[in-house]
Amino acid sequence: MAIQRPKGTQDHLPDGSPKLSLDTRAVAFQHVQDTARRVLERAGAQFLNTPVFEDPDLVKRGVGGSTDIVRKEMFTVYYFGDHGGFILRPEGTAGIVRAYLQNGLKQLPSPLKLWTHGPMFRAENVQKGRLRQFHQVDYEVLGSTDPLVDAEAISLMVDVVAALGLTGVRVKLGSIGDPADRDAYNAYLRELFGAHVERLSDDSKERLERNPMRILDSKSAGDQALIAELGVRPMLDFLGDEARAHFQAVQAYLTAWGVAYDIDPSIVRGLDYYRRTAWELHHEGVGAKSALGGGGRYDGLAEQLGGPLVPGIGWAFGIERLLIAMDAEGLDVPGQGGPLLYVAALDDVYVGHAATVAMKARQVARAEFAYRAVKPGNAFRDAERRGAQLVALIGSDEVARGVLSIKNLSTGVQSVVPAGDLHTFLAEATVPPSTYVQENA
Ligand code: HAM
């Protein structure tokens, strides 16, 4: 058998491919990126790109040593002669904060809104909507602790899903407090679960040491049964005064703007850098365990990476999961659109001429040409399959007269266009009626 793509990856394919689904359609990815671009750039976010591989320390210090991502899911890349290796980025935030610090972006107006999209890599157990190479749209705001920035970020996330046409999305909002609040909560959890160590899964026994909060996020049924039985108090009970006031301010803005959300008192995000506001967006089509997207505040991250204090907040969507949700709601995305003009020669000697016409037409419109001489019937069939609106057939008569005879496939109207007027004709092709001679009219 020919070589297959690695497990947990997908090809993004052109329309017309067999067995195409929305989350493998290349144009669907572009549609999500374009929609996000429109929403985020209107809000003042600027696009940036960072490398897909980074220093291992960035990911370890940024994402956190106790997370599943760092402990089990990192892809390491080596090149010949190298010993340290690099990490394929599992998420975008740590790299963006590194880029902010390294490139002096602090000098730009603050708060600075940034966005990007691109592939992320996690060696996960593969299932629907859980891939090893997946794609995110990522939005980050650096330089402000204002709860207004949190509320705006959440609201922009809601704007993106609305712009995609999704309706069945729920915002689950929580707060994981300041570091001291978290320490108090972890001490409480350590004591609570410490009395039942033998019932915890092996993973959660380790979590009890490193980061007890992560037990609440466990995928083990036994752990979840124990959590329910013990009636664990939520993180929200442990918020200090400042984190509580911040959380209430975020909610007040969202409520004032009519952004619907549910408080999720037990929200636990899978990355260590979060503080205070944390949230996820969920959709039935993606399943209860998997979020459409998530985000939170990370005021300590820049310092964690060796920089000065730069407060930050942001979120990321999984593009594949957005597409799965859109598919579940019966939503579609526009196709790429065929060529406006299809040019075919009726005789071998004019094939080069047809190519020249199409290539000149490309200065103003999409145009394709037939690579060999064709009969008119075949030309129209091929043009239609490619989605062309206009077909120009070139034979000895057209070449001798220096004109193009162009048929509009939707109106059936045939026009004779002097070769030098092609650009004007194409520009007007969508606005009837044309001033050109219509032979069949
Ligand atoms: P995250 O919750 O780890 O957060 O990932 C964000 C989104 O990426 C998820 O909600 C999901 O849609 C998608 N995703 C994650 N893992 C996979 C996977 N294996 N397969 C498919 N989709 C996946 C972050 O990555 C943070 N950097 C978000 C953030 C930005 N926080 C602050 N700024």
Tell the residue nearest (CA) to atom 25 of ligand 1: 91
Q: How many of the other CB atoms lie within 10 Å of CB of 55?
A: 18
How far, in Å, CA of 224 to CA of 217, rounded? 8
What pLDDT was estimated at residue 66? 82
How far, in Å, CA of 434 to CA of 427, rounded? 10
Cα(121) to centroid(ligand 1), Å: 10
With a 6 A CB cut-off, is 321 part of the ligand 1 pocket?
Answer: yes
This prediction's pTM: 0.92
With a 6 A CB cut-off, is 296 part of the ligand 1 pocket?
Answer: yes
Q: Which of 54, 68, 120 to mutate to test the pocket of ligand 1 (most atoms within 8 A of CB)?
A: 120
With a 6 A CB cut-off, is 294 part of the ligand 1 pocket?
Answer: yes
Report CA 439 to chain centroid distance, whole Å: 50
With a 6 A CB cut-off, is 277 part of the ligand 1 pocket?
Answer: no
Q: Helices then strands (H, E): number in the chain?
A: 15, 16
With a 6 A CB cut-off, is 297 part of the ligand 1 pocket?
Answer: no
With a 6 A CB cut-off, is 138 part of the ligand 1 pocket?
Answer: yes
Task: Give which of 294, 61, 60 is closest to 176, Cα–Cα.
Answer: 294
With a 6 A CB cut-off, is 67 part of the ligand 1 pocket?
Answer: no
Cα(288) to centroid(ligand 1), Å: 15
Cα(321) to centroid(ligand 1), Å: 10
What pLDDT was estimated at residue 430? 63
Taking 50 as the pLDDT cut, the residues of the chain under it are 431-435, 438, 440-441
Task: Write down the residue that tokens 């850098």 correspond to.
Answer: 273
Alpha carbon of 350 to those of 342, 353, 395, 397, 419: distances in Å?
14, 5, 7, 11, 15
pLDDT in tens, 316-374: 999 999 999 999 999 999 988 888 999 999 999 999 999 999 999 999 999 999 999 99
What pLDDT was estimated at residue 266? 80
Contacts of 332 (CB under 8 A, 6+ apart): 22, 326
How far, in Å, CA of 424 to CA of 421, rounded? 5
What pLDDT was estimated at residue 88? 97
Cα(294) to centroid(ligand 1), Å: 6
Cα(434) to centroid(ligand 1), Å: 52
Tell the residue nearest (CA) to atom 9 of ligand 1: 293
Cα(437) to centroid(ligand 1), Å: 58
Cα(63) to centroid(ligand 1), Å: 12
Task: Using the CB atoms, write b or e for 163-189: b if 16+ within 10 Å.
Answer: ebebeebebbbbbbbbeebbebbbebb
What pLDDT was estimated at residue 246? 98
Cα(407) to centroid(ligand 1), Å: 50
What pLDDT was estimated at residue 433? 43
